[in-house]
Amino acid sequence: MEKAWSPLGRKPSRQERPRLQTTAAFGSNPGRLVMKTFVPADLPSKPALVVVLHGCRQTPESLDAASGFSRLARERGLVVLYPQQIHSNNAHKCFNWFRPSEVARDRGEVLSVKQMIDHALKRHRADRTRVYIVGLSAGGAMTGSLVANYPDMFAGAAIVAGMPVGAVRDAMSALRAMKSGATPPSDGWGARIAEISPGRRSWPPISIWQGTADRTVNPANAGACVDQWLEANAVDRSSVRVERKPWGELSSWNAGGARRVSLYSIHGMGHGLPVKNRRPGRSGSTDPFVLTADISAPVELMRLWRLPRR
């Protein structure tokens, strides 16, 4: 069953931001999450699917209105899926990336998101080879867990102000790691990925995004995420290419003729998703964790993922 979301319960006009649809039944949903989607009216055949995981104290509606993912979906003919956390699971509506039971393969919240993806692919006849995922903060940490558990499901991923996979095992250690930086494991960050998917050598390209002035998630955690996915890909960290940009630095690591890991370090930005030309406006259209910058992560991801305008 699908129902349309509209602000304040009013019938939305053409000028209002796009509606997100809620899907009530999409699987066993062991993580008790909510599934919301944006689907353009003129959806092409075999569209791409972009999964967006919100951060703490966000909703799919607030993130979508401020980030413009649904506008990009209209322009490019793709489906956007927003898994949503609920208050009874987490008082701050954070995805529970720090609870082992929620991030283990075929269990908890990661299975709920996988079931949403499977449902969206079938319902909208989307292209299984073009599924992409991006997450902010707690959603970024959950993105890493989803890629580690189901690497064949994704063609690309982005972790924004997130945490390395397997960094902690409870809420208190999560807060410490976010503030001070996660403690590196003695056997290296890549070992946490190998434990989940042993023997795996091929991973979707991953971009990591971090503001240098982030006081919620210590930027050292972005370095840990880089180390983790470089080790998983068996790529030497010293092979980096660093480019100076108006917004900061882009560090990239290539292997086999393709970029495998990249780090977008955004000078002076705090905790959030960077966008250009953010336009505060109608009530409910802003989000404190979507930040004005000289680069737009949503637009850059469309380029990285080769999702052009129609």
- Inter-axis angle of helices 220-232 and 171-180, nearest 10: 100
Question: How far from chain centre, in Å, is Cα 167?
Answer: 17
Computed over its alpha carbons, how large is the radius of gyration of the chain? 18
Residue 137 is among the residues annotated as catalytic for this protein: yes
Q: Residue 191 CA to chain centroid, in angstroms? A: 22
Catalytic residue among 70, 112, 137, 265: 137
Q: What is the DSSP string of 121-141?
A: HHHTT--TT-EEEEEETHHHH
Return the beta strands (E) in the chain as ranges.
Answer: 2-4, 21-23, 34-38, 49-53, 79-84, 131-136, 156-160, 206-211, 241-245, 248-255, 258-266, 273-275, 290-292
User: What is the rounded CA–CA span in Å between residue 139 and residue 272?
Assistant: 11
Using DSSP, state whether 3 is helix, strand or coil.
strand
> Which is it for strands 79-84 and 49-53: parallel, antiparallel or unpaired?
parallel
Q: Which residue numbers are catalytic?
A: 137
